[in-house]
Copies of this chain bind each other. A is one copy, B any other.
Amino acid sequence: MIKVSVIGATGYTGIELLRLLRQHKEVEVKKLVSRSNPGKRLKDIYPQFPDDNNLLSKYNIEELKESDLVFTALPHGVSQDYVSELYNNEIRVIDFSGDYRYRDVSIYENWYGIEHKYPEIAREAVYGLVELNREMLREARLVANPGCYPTASLLGLLPLLKKGLLDEEFIVIDAKSGVSGAGKAVKEAFIFNEVASSIKAYGINSHRHTSEIEAVIADLFKKSIISFTPHLIPVKRGILATIYTKLREKIEIQDLIKIYKQFYPEGGFVKILTEGVPETKYVAGSNYCYLTLKIDKRTGRLVIISAIDNLLKGASGQAVQAMNVMFGLPEKTGLKGTALFP
């Protein structure tokens, strides 16, 4: 049994993580740390967990030392100190924030507007996109769990990037997300009357995940400049990323699909849909990512559609998947659930 604790247990990614950990037969939950609700039981806040009697506790590094792994589901900026202390105490960490996703912290500082106090730890972190970094994750001490948009986007692009097929001058990512991506934000912009029945773009040309996607692409391939626009859609879960790209050379669709299927072998979480088109309902409630590739012969462009559940493959599910790799378990352990539909 892996002994795990969670810091930030009562946010949406926190409770989604707990939902998954409760179904994971190789995990024992030790501490649930909540900065906002220490002393309460989880079910006092979330009646969704009627049989969970875990007490929420304050952060105490001593108590966490008995854990093999700590998940930190904290806001960016806030995470820096917690992670560094855990790291320095030799506790393995999977961090949900943006704080440790950049090897070069100057990019982080630039896009997040926050100083990074631990650049040397950031350099040690492994970016937790399992399909990209499976090998490095096995021994990782600190895993930076990818952002939701970068996960959907990069899974759509990785095979092309690895093969050098992409024209780095033409990458446009238009992403649509459910509202749970904003977390439990009690702000006017997120009340039902403001969100329901409406569609909007936000963070145009300035969303931080732009830099995260570019940083990973630069590592794999070469510097590229992407346009990325996220949109808020009145659903609770799900991201659909529509990616417009250009290929460096002419290629038939069957060959392209072959490349993708080699990169994402049968049995994994990434599925190539050759009939139909991904909809977020195919994945909401599951850790799958669905991809479809559409070459436009008329324009010579390639459109890639990528669908994930932002709270699963885009956050807590992906973190459990990374944990499985870190501890030598089959990657799908505890993650076999299919989408909740309808």
Residues of chain A touching chain B, judged by Cβ–Cβ distance below 8 Å, are 12, 15, 19, 22-23, 46-52, 170, 172, 174, 176, 178-180, 184-188, 190-202, 204-205, 225-227, 229, 231, 233-238, 240, 242, 244, 267, 271, 273, 276-286, 288, 290, 292, 294-296, 298-299, 301, 303, 305, 307, 311, 336-342
A276 and chain B: residue at smallest CB distance:
B47
Pick from B199, B205, B240, B277: contact of A240, CB below 8 A.
Answer: B199
- In the complex, A49→B340 CA distance in Å? 10
- In the complex, A280→B201 CA distance in Å? 10
For this chain, the copies found in one complex come to: 4
Pick from B12, B172, B271, B339: contact of A342, CB below 8 A.
Answer: B12
- In the complex, A172→B170 CA distance in Å? 11
Pick from B191, B205, B278: contact of A192, CB below 8 A.
Answer: B191
Main SS of the interface on chain A? loop
The residue among A188, A204, A277 with the most chain B CB atoms within 10 A of its own CB is: A204
**Known interface pairs A192-B196, A277-B200. Does A237 touch B294 (Cβ–Cβ under 8 Å)?**
no
**Are the CB atoms of B185 and A191 closer together than 8 Å?**
yes
Q: Which residues from chain B contact A200 at a C-beta distance below 8 Å? A: 240, 277-280
**Known interface pairs A172-B172, A279-B199, A284-B197. Does A19 touch B299 (Cβ–Cβ under 8 Å)?**
no
Q: Kindly provide the distance from the CB of A270 to the nearest chain B CB, expressed in whole angstroms.
A: 10
**Are the CB atoms of B192 and A190 closer together than 8 Å?**
yes
Question: What are 29 residue pairs bridging A and B, where the CB atoms are less than 8 Å apart in the complex?
Answer: A15-B341, A47-B271, A47-B276, A48-B283, A48-B286, A48-B341, A174-B174, A174-B229, A178-B199, A179-B196, A190-B191, A191-B191, A192-B192, A194-B281, A196-B234, A196-B235, A197-B235, A198-B279, A198-B281, A199-B279, A199-B307, A200-B279, A204-B292, A205-B298, A205-B299, A226-B299, A227-B299, A236-B342, A285-B340
